[in-house]
């Protein structure tokens, strides 16, 4: 496959009328190696962030062997791509049919749950269909509800049992599994490593009350990427504080530590070229939007890095808002997106950091959504893994707070 040096080369060659997704396998590979080599435990890729088969293969080749699959469709996808991968069904609410297919057809043994009803459902779905004997090799993870106050996108309301329910649910689950874990999710884009301190303290309280042997702690996702206005501390700070608090938990001496990054492994993988179809003052009408890869820009006002690709644009930057291509007024992204003040219809823009959720959430609404995909060799527009983001030792909040 031809590899372009950068977005400008793609524009010169293709002059595209439709959006073009630019993939950077080298960036995803680097992010995966960073986590595999530096996180003090096992790393699972959260497939929902971007289920692109090419990306999944890149992560596998870079050392990611475990995958957080959250639907039976994701189970089927990853199993077909990677017969030897370890799949963990981490959605806390599943259908009995999905559980049975995952267990009997795809070799899934790890399931998460946050209620007694789900526990009973898993036990029943995994019974031997001929003898009715219960499964003896289940690996169950009880999900706790924890705060998302340190994260940009909350995941605190839909899933997770509270501290009142957790001890008894852990006790019941322990009776039906070969291996018991506790998992949680601090929310997406956690902007400080102390998000995990609060969650691990809550985990400690649940385990102490339950008085059962715990074989695994899964700190979930939440690991951030860099975006305009959202530049987190170095990832090593997160790993350091998680490791120290994990080691102090009342768990089995050989208990495992897991994490489930999605955004952090995939965000730098993709960017997108869009074309300006119209300019109205400080609003640009572009050919992708809320129903395409820019869902987050529209619905949660996420700011993505942008750059104009025209070499003849010479004026200073002006803050623009975007309208997408559909007939819906909600197809609007307020930004601000700083671009040269002389940008006009026909010009091209690269929008960065769309590898997480962006490409995965594109729809065909209103007949739009087509996007060619190409590979480029340049660096992502922002990165946590290319060695450019370091904190001075005197400003290291982890060292200061933990010594």
Residue 112 lies in a domain: yes
Give the mean pLDDT of 354-370.
89
Distance CA 142, CA 138 (A): 13
Domain shared by 328 and 357, yes or no: yes
Averaged over 338-353, what is the pLDDT?
A: 97
Which of the 8 DSSP states describes residue 134? P
CB atoms within 10 A of CB 248: 10
In a domain, 386, yes or no: no
What was the pLDDT predicted at 399? 47
- The C-alpha angle with vertex 25 and arms to 9 and 8, in degrees rounded to 5, equals 10
Q: Which of 18-32, 337-351, 361-375 has the lowest mean pLDDT?
A: 361-375
Please determine, for residue 325, whether its predicted confidence score (pLDDT) is greater than 60.
yes
Per residue in 44-72, pLDDT (tens digit) is 999 999 999 999 999 999 999 999 999 99
Q: With bands split at pLDDT 50, 70 and 90, how would you rate the model's confidence at 398?
A: low
Say whether both 184 and 315 belong to one domain: no
Please name the residues in contact with 310: beta carbons below 8 A apart, sequence gap of 6 or more.
340, 343, 347, 348
| pLDDT recorded at residue 390 | 63
pLDDT at 394: 41
Q: Find all residues with CB under 8 Å of 97, minimum gap 6, and list them.
A: 72, 125
> Which of 228, 246, 266 marks a domain boundary?
266
Q: Which residues contact 36 (CB under 8 A, 6 or more apart)?
A: 43, 62, 63, 64
* Partners of 248 in beta bridges: none
Owning domain of residue 274: 3-22+268-376
Tell me whether residue 324 is in a domain.
Answer: yes
How many domains does the structure of the chain reveal?
A: 2
pLDDT per residue as tens digits for the range 128-156: 999 999 999 999 999 999 988 888 888 88
Together in a domain, 260 and 272: no
Same domain, 256 and 285: no
Higher pLDDT, 274 or 402: 274
Is 398 inside a domain boundary?
no
Same domain (yes/no): 293, 372: yes
- Residue 207 and residue 82 share a domain: yes
Note the pLDDT tens digit of each residue in 71-90.
999 999 999 999 999 999 99
Q: What is the pLDDT of residue 309?
A: 97
The pLDDT tens digits of the residues spanning 283-304 come to: 999 999 999 999 999 988 899 9
Which H or E run contains 333?
Answer: strand 332-340
Same domain, 281 and 362: yes
Give the rounded percent of residues in the chain with a pLDDT score beyond 90. 87
Lowest mean pLDDT among 3-7, 58-62, 209-213, 311-315: 311-315
- Token pair recorded at residue 195: 């998000």
Measured between alpha carbons, how far is 304 from 56 in angstroms, rounded to an integer? Answer: 23
Rounded-to-integer distance, Cα 336 and Cα 305, Å = 10
- Residue 212 located in a structural domain: yes
Looking up tokens 């007939």, which residue turns up? 327
Q: Is residue 388 part of a domain?
A: no
Q: Report if residue 175 sits inside a domain.
A: yes
- The answer on pLDDT for 236 being more than 90 is yes
173 C-beta neighbours (distance < 10 Å), count: 24
Mean pLDDT of the chain: 93
Is 346 in the same domain as 249? no
Select from 73, 145, 89, 84 the least CA-distant residue to 114: 145
Supply the pLDDT for residue 28: 98
Residue 12 pLDDT greater than 80, yes or no: yes
Residue 183 lies in a domain: yes
Given a cut of 80, is residue 104 above it in pLDDT? yes
Other beta carbons less than 10 A from residue 149's beta carbon: 12
What single-letter DSSP state applies at residue 92?
S
Q: Are residues 339 and 236 in the same domain?
A: no
Helix axes 116-125, 166-174, angle to 10 degrees: 20
156 and 41, same domain (yes or no): yes
| 117 shares a domain with 258 | yes
358 pLDDT above the threshold of 50: yes
Verify that 83 and 50 share a domain, yes or no. yes
| Residue found by looking up tokens 């987050």 in the block | 296
């Amino acid at each position: 496959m031809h590899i372009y040096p950068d977005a400008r080369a793609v524009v010169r060659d293709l002059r595209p009328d439709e959006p073009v997704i630019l993939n950077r396998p080298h960036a995803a590979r680097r992010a995966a190696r960073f986590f595999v080599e530096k996180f003090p435990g096992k790393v699972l890729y959260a497939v929902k962030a971007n289920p692109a088969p090419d990306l999944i293969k890149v992560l596998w080749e870079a050392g990611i062997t475990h995958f957080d699959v959250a639907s039976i469709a994701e189970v089927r996808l990853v199993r077909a791509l990677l017969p030897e991968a370890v799949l963990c069904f981490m959605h806390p609410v599943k259908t009995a049919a999905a559980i049975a297919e995952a267990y009997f057809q795809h070799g899934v043994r790890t399931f998460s749950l946050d209620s007694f009803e789900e526990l009973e459902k898993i036990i029943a779905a995994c019974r031997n269909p001929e003898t009715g004997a219960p499964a003896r090799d289940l690996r169950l993870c009880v999900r706790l509800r924890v705060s998302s106050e340190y994260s940009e996108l909350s995941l605190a309301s839909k899933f997770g049992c509270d501290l009142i329910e957790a001890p008894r649910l852990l006790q019941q689950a322990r009776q039906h599994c070969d291996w018991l874990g506790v998992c949680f999710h601090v929310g997406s884009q956690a902007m400080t490593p102390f998000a995990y301190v609060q969650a691990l303290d809550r985990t400690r309280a649940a385990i102490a009350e339950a008085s059962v042997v715990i074989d695994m702690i899964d700190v979930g996702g939440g690991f951030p990427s860099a975006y305009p206005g959202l530049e987190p501390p170095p990832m090593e700070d997160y790993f350091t504080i998680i490791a120290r608090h994990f080691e102090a938990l009342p768990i089995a001496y050989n208990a495992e530590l897991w994490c489930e990054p999605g955004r952090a492994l995939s965000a730098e993988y993709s960017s997108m070229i869009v074309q300006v179809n119209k300019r109205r003052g400080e609003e640009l009408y572009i050919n992708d939007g809320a129903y395409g890869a820019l869902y987050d820009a529209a619905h949660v006002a996420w700011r993505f890095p942008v750059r104009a690709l025209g070499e003849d644009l010479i004026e200073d930057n002006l803050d623009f808002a975007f309208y997408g291509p559909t007939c819906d007024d909600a197809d609007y992204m307020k930004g601000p997106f700083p671009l040269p003040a002389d940008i006009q219809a026909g010009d091209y823009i690269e929008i960065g950091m769309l590898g997480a959720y962006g490409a995965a959430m594109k729809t065909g609404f209103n007949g739009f959504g087509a996007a060619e995909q190409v590979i480029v060799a340049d660096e992502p527009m922002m990165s946590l893994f290319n060695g450019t983001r370091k904190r001075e030792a005197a400003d290291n909040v982890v060292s200061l707070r933990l010594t």
